A and B are shown apart, each in its own frame.
Chain A
Amino acid sequence: MKSYRLVCVSQALSPISHASGTAGNESIIARQDIKTPRGMVKVPFLSGNALRHRSVRAPGMLHLIDRWQLVGKLSKPILNFLLHGGNLTESTAHENTERIAAMHRLFPLLRLLGGSLPNQILAGSLDCWAGALVCEETRDMLTGLLPCFPHARLLPAERFSTGWQYTRSDAGRRNLHAASPDDSETASNLMIFSGQAVAVGSLFVHGYVLKHVTEIEYGALLHSLTLWQADGGTIGGKAGIGHGRLRLHLLEPGDIDGPIARYLDYIDRVRDDAVAWLQAAFDRPAAKKPAKGKKAKGGDDGPNDPILDMTRQTNSELAS
């Protein structure tokens, strides 16, 4: 077991539209406040949440589902757990260390990411940094991190901000539609929409810290990053129209092929046990309605409770 720190530099190959909201029809990119000598400045960034999902969880888990031939065989709660971290849905949460240990053994990627079973939160061992735009405003953040940060002044953050504008057209212009029985279909579908983006060529520094993990778990992260890049390395929105492509550069990561190969070999070996673990973790007996009236007071057989049944049997044996 050891800790790994993987520093990455990702270059924007297309406009990055990692949005934080809208103002009217305009999409606004996510920015974070950075304290600089000239005051607080809002600088575009990539959230750790987005990077964690897009670059690690989604590609790794989708591969797992495909590799283990589980497409169409998993319930939605299980898929939400694997692909989105799940959520705590039961009121009686409890700690099951045996279940945690089994998960760590069977799912190297889940050991990194953690998640939430219906009644248990599982911590992960991966810290995913937010992506910092390389600019003059992030000099203090990045100087200690990167071994060769330039001494010369960099361009300010706003030089890397750009805009885009697209149009959604109206089919009525082609005059192919049937006559409308009333005026309800005459409204134009035309809409101009626009937004902000981070410009092509911008650089983001981000990273991953894996605390006390095995080489197989490191391989799980590297494998996810490889898959992410192979699928375009997208982040943020509008990937369907060409936005969001990042080219990932790993800064001196050491051996890549070895850990990935060991990870893939391992998950092939534990497949059956891992699937069984998933089924058991999400298997819930049908909930029984609370009893009322005589039944609630145990007037007849009473509610079907194994502990209560054992108690009644013991009392009955004692009485006889």
Chain B
Amino acid sequence: MNQALPPPPVVIDTEQLRRMLAGLEDPTAEKQVWWEHDAKNIAVEFCAALPSVFGKSLDRMTLWAKICSSIEAAFANVVNGDLDQFVQCVLEGIQAEPAQVLACDRFTEALSLLHTIRAADRQDWITYLKTHRIPVLVMAKARWQQFLAEVKAQ
């Protein structure tokens, strides 16, 4: 019986194998120090600015939970390190009103800080924020409350 033979399995060489394996590298491996200091600092400042622009239509009791879920959703939507798109997704998640965002100096400062990240590190930063979001939000909440105390004291 003659049966048509299916195509053979894919054949790869050493270089192709090297590229396959490179995709499994831990992105934080060579940036441990940067992650633990700069990336963390920027993440905390960014998240601490979000309550300033939290949507008025949302229940304030869900503030931090909503910010957390917005970060997760934004991470899923950005694969190329586009920080502006990431920020846009987060703002949409917390239903921030454009006029309120534009008028918020605190948020503008946080955005400027975000743009000090090198282009090559931006996707890594987004990944850092997603994978460390709860500890970052704990510190962001403390920073936010410190800000509120300062405003109240003035």
A233 to B65, CA, bound (A): 42
Q: Are A9 and B24 in contact, with the CB atoms below 8 A?
A: no
Smallest Cβ-Cβ distance to B22: which chain A residue: A150
Per-residue CB contact flags for chain B residues 1-37 toward chain A (1 = under 8 Å, else 0) read 1010111111111111110111111100110000000
Q: Which residues of A contact B29 (CB under 8 A)?
A: 152-153
A63 to B3, CA, bound (A): 10
The listed residue (B8, B13, B15, B20) touching A257 by CB distance below 8 A is: B8
Q: Which residues of A contact B14 (CB under 8 A)?
A: 147-148, 251-252
Q: Which residues of A contact B24 (CB under 8 A)?
A: 134-135, 150, 154-155, 203
A136 to B8, CA, bound (A): 31
Q: Which residues of A contact B1 (CB under 8 A)?
A: 66-67, 69
Per-residue CB contact flags for chain A residues 279-309 toward chain B (1 = under 8 Å, else 0) read 0000000000000000000000000000000
Q: Are A152 and B20 in contact, with the CB atoms below 8 A?
A: no
Q: Are B5 and A203 in contact, with the CB atoms below 8 A?
A: no
Which of the 9-residue segments A39-47, A166-174, A188-196, A219-227 touches chain B? A219-227
CB distance from B142 to the nearest CB of A (A): 29
Q: Are A260 and B5 in contact, with the CB atoms below 8 A?
A: yes
Q: Which residues of A contact B10 (CB under 8 A)?
A: 247-250
Given contacts A146-B21, A203-B21, contact A154 B26 (CB under 8 A): yes
The listed residue (A9, A155, A227, A230) touching B20 by CB distance below 8 A is: A9
A143 to B6, CA, bound (A): 33
Q: Which residues of A contact B6 (CB under 8 A)?
A: 226-227, 229-230
A203 to B20, CA, bound (A): 9
Q: Are B11 and A253 in contact, with the CB atoms below 8 A?
A: yes
Q: Which residues of B contact A155 (CB under 8 A)?
A: 24-26
The listed residue (B3, B11, B18) touching A249 by CB distance below 8 A is: B11
Q: Is A11 an interface residue (CB 8 A)?
A: yes
Q: Are A134 and B9 in contact, with the CB atoms below 8 A?
A: no
CB distance from A198 to the nearest CB of B (A): 13
Per-residue CB contact flags for chain A residues 225-240 toward chain B (1 = under 8 Å, else 0) read 1110110000000000
Q: Which residues of B contact A256 (CB under 8 A)?
A: 8-9, 11
Per-residue CB contact flags for chain B residues 106-141 toward chain A (1 = under 8 Å, else 0) read 000000000000000000000000000000000000
Q: Are B21 and A149 in contact, with the CB atoms below 8 A?
A: yes
Smallest Cβ-Cβ distance to A149: which chain B residue: B21
Q: Are B5 and A226 in contact, with the CB atoms below 8 A?
A: yes
Given contacts A11-B20, A148-B14, A251-B17, contact A226 B9 (CB under 8 A): yes
Smallest Cβ-Cβ distance to A66: which chain B residue: B1
Q: Are B13 and A252 in contact, with the CB atoms below 8 A?
A: yes
CB distance from A272 to the nearest CB of B (A): 14
Q: Which residues of A contact B18 (CB under 8 A)?
A: 148, 150
Given contacts A66-B1, A260-B5, contact A153 B26 (CB under 8 A): yes
Please give the residue numbers on chain A whose beta carbons come within 8 Å of chain B beta carbons, in ascending order: 9, 11, 63, 66-67, 69, 134-136, 146-150, 152-156, 201, 203, 222, 225-227, 229-230, 247-253, 256-257, 260, 264
Please give the residue numbers on chain B whose beta carbons come within 8 Å of chain A beta carbons, in ascending order: 1, 3, 5-18, 20-26, 29-30
Residue pairs across A and B with Cβ atoms less than 8 A apart, 10 shown, are A9-B17, A67-B1, A69-B1, A148-B14, A148-B15, A153-B25, A153-B26, A153-B29, A226-B7, A248-B10
Across the A-B interface, the 6 shortest Cβ-Cβ residue pairs: A230-B6, A153-B29, A148-B18, A248-B9, A152-B25, A153-B26
